[in-house]
Every structure is written in structure tokens, then in C-alpha cells.
Amino acid sequence: MRCSRCRRLAVINLRAHRLALCERHFVQRFLEVVERAIRRYSLMHRSSKVLVAVSGGKDSLALWDALTELGYSADGLYIDLGIEKQDYSRISREKAEAFAEQRGLRLRVFSLKEEYGSAMPELRRGSRELCSVCGIVKRHVMNRVALEGGYEVLATGHNLDDEASVLLANLLRWNTALAARQAPRVEAWHEKLRPKVKPLCLLSERETATYAFVRGIDYVSELECPFSAGATSIAVKEALNRIEEHSPGTKLYFYTQFLKHREIFAGEEEEKAPVRECSSCGFPAGGELCSFCRLLLKSRLGGEKGDNRADSRVG
């Protein structure tokens, strides 16, 4: 297969666009699409100080690489959740650190264990499902580091497959409140929060993987969290991929047309409860404590009981 632009050997065939591209032209197009998303959805300004949340996986490292190539000033944030199973947190942290070091970029590492004395597995001691705990923790840490570091926007590596599958899952359940909130840029609704943007939302997972490969980015390839059941979202992604296989372009069309027509969901958003400030950390909260501080408190209470049990076994 030959590149549609220069006839050199192609590295990827984008059936949705009837385009085969060589390394050079693929990278060029990838960067153009990132820039297009940034402009079309007003994600940020050229001068914005950006904090990119990097997990050590292909999407977020590809995003950090692309933003830097495009001339944005972007620091990285790796949140070390302290997951020891399969050495998950250590390995992904090393990938993020190696990437930053090779490119002379600034990576902030935030370790839950160091900052709060508790890591993910202990935080789960409350009743909630682990993935939702993880979401609460990541959101809190991202907002905190962005605020304290003086960043204007927070960028995540969510790609087209992530966005289209979340949209489909929401629509399958007619969860219009969630659909109404889904966007490439989610505005901050409190002075301590920062807008969240997804500059890879027009690029498929296959494209981000190819970009990471071509750019020589070393990433954690099996970056499914060892705790994530993920069954539903994986099934929806697979279903979308089968439709895409049959009708190339469906995924992109489904998502971009939703964004064009999203006003049909306007007014469906759930009313935000009157905002209070968490009495412990000062971030917006629904009650006395924010959901993150409630998790910390529960894990400490649970932790004391847990330690007693451990002591009695040792003794």
C-alpha cells in the first residue's frame, strides 16, 4: 500500500477517510487533526498553560507528545495510585518518567501514598466500586495539582473510541443527563476547578497507537487496570468496532454529529446541588466533606480496624 500523498510505503490505511499514509504524512495529519479539535471546540489558546494527565498509556503520552510538537506549553501529571497488583503503578510511572526525561519535559508525580498515607486498595474499603473510587481520586488530584500549579486547562488522553463508546452506552440507557454533559471541553463550574479538555477526541485508538509507535513512544501496552472489570464499556467498544469495520467512518460521524446537535439534550443536566466547600480540603462538595475526603476518612477508619486484625495475627 502506498501513501496517498507521496507514494512512499504507507504505515496506515484510514478507510474512513479513504487515505493511506506514510509515516511522515500520517504524523503531519495527526497533528492537524489535534489542532482542528482544539480550534473547532475552542479547547484552549496557544498561550494556555496546560497540564496533561498522563497514565503511561499510549493515548495520554501521544497527546503530550503532540501538544509539545504543536508548540503548546504542557507539563505532565502522573498520579501514582499505589496499585501493586501486577506492578501496575510502578511500571506505568516509569514509562511516564522515561518519556518526560527523554524529551526534557516537566512531569509532576503525585503519589497518593506519600501525600495521604493511603493508596487505592485501602481507599476501596468504603462500599463503592473500585473504578468509581479511582475516578473520584483522579478527579480530585488533577484539580488540586492544576490549581496549585497555576495551570489554566487540564487535558486528558480520551480518544474517539472512548468518547463514541461512552456516548453509545449513555444513549442505550437514554441517560440524557450524562449525554448532556459529554463534551470535548467541560467547563469549570467552580473557581477551584479547571476546564477539562480532550484534544484526541477526533482520533481513533488505532490512530493514537500508530502515532505512539511511529514516534517511538514507549508505553504500557496492557494498560487495562488490573482491577477494572470494564465489561460493559469493552463490549460497547467492540460493537462499535464491528459497525466501523462494516461502514468505515461511522464512529467519527456518530460522535461529531452528536456534538453538532447536542443542544437537543440541553436542559437535561442534573441540577447541581448548591455548592459548598469541603471542610477538610476546601474543594467543592455536595455536603460537609467532598467525596474524596469522605473516602480518605473511611479508609482511615477501616484502616485502624484492619491494622488491629493484622496485629492480632502477628501477635
Q: Which residues lie near ligand AMP (CB under 6 A)?
A: 53-55, 59-60, 77-79, 81, 138, 156-158
Query: Which span sits near Zn ion by CB under 5 A: 74-82, 180-188, 248-256, 271-279?
Result: 271-279
Q: Which of 290, 295, 298, 299 binds Zn ion (CB under 5 A)?
A: 290
Which lies closer to ligand AMP via its Cβ, residue 3 or residue 92?
92
- Using a 10 angstrom Cβ sphere, with 0-12 exposed, 13-18 middle and 19 or more buried, the burial of residue 160 is buried
Residue corresponding to grid cell 463534551: 183
Q: Which is nearer to ligand AMP, 157 or 195 (CB)?
A: 157
**φ and ψ at 211, to 5 degrees?**
-60, -50
State the nearest-atom distance from the C-beta of 284 to Zn ion, in Å.
9
Q: Taking the complex as a whole, how short is the minimal distance between the CB of residue 197 and Zn ion, in angstroms?
A: 24
Nearest distance from C-beta of residue 153 to Zn ion, angstroms: 22
Q: Which of 280, 286, 300, 303 binds Zn ion (CB under 5 A)?
A: 280
Least distance from Zn ion to the Cβ atom of residue 144, Å: 9
Rounded to an integer, what distance in angstroms lies between the CA atom of residue 75 and that of residue 72?
10
What does 154 bind: Zn ion, ligand AMP, none (CB cut-off 5 to 8 Å by kind)?
none
φ and ψ of 280, to 5 deg: -100, -50
The two beta strands, 73-80 and 49-53, are parallel
C-beta of 60 vs 210, nearer to ligand AMP: 60
Which entry of ligand AMP, Zn ion, none binds 79, CB below 5 to 8 A by partner kind? Answer: ligand AMP
Q: In terms of Cα–Cα distance, which of 143, 89, 147, 162 is closest to 121?
A: 89
Q: Shortest CA distance to 243 belongs to which of 10, 13, 4, 15?
A: 15
Strand partners for 9: 2
The partner in contact with residue 61, picked from Zn ion, ligand AMP, none with C-beta cut-offs of 5 to 8 angstroms by kind, is none
Which of 287-291's residues contact partners 24+ apart within 8 Å by CB, and which partners?
290/140, 291/136, 291/140
The binding site for Zn ion (CB under 5 A) comprises 3, 5-6, 8, 22, 25, 278, 280-281, 290, 293
